């Protein structure tokens, strides 16, 4: 078992994760480049993977989905001037 880092951007992200990966946390990373987040997952040493949809929404941004979103984290960017909320759908 170990921790892996995955990169996310604002909007919809399709992430390939090992089956059973557990979300740990997310933070802004590389703010000098653009808005980019990293999400850390606890993963088993398995070869089988699955695609998961992670959406990063800015505060006040509308989003419509037929699936019930699962809240993961809130990420403060640019010193807290920009706030995103991560959901798995």
> pLDDT (tens digit, 9 = 90+) per residue, 44-64?
988 899 999 999 999 999 988
What mean pLDDT comes out for the span 66-75? 93
CA nearest 72: which of 49, 88, 52?
88
CA nearest 53: which of 13, 19, 2, 11?
13
**Residue 83 in contact with residue 58, Cβ under 8 Å?**
yes
What mean pLDDT comes out for the span 23-52? 87
For the chain, what is the radius of gyration of the CA atoms?
13
Per DSSP, the three-state class of 89 is coil
What mean pLDDT comes out for the span 58-71? 90
């Amino acid at each position: 078992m170990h921790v892996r880092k995955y990169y996310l951007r604002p909007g919809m992200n399709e992430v390939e994760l090992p089956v059973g990966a557990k979300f740990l946390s997310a933070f802004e990373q590389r703010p000098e480049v653009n808005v980019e987040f990293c999400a850390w997952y606890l993963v088993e040493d398995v070869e089988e993977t699955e695609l998961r949809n992670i959406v990063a929404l800015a505060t006040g941004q509308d989003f419509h989905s037929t699936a019930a979103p699962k809240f993961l984290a809130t990420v403060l960017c640019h010193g807290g001037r920009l706030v995103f909320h991560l959901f798995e759908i």
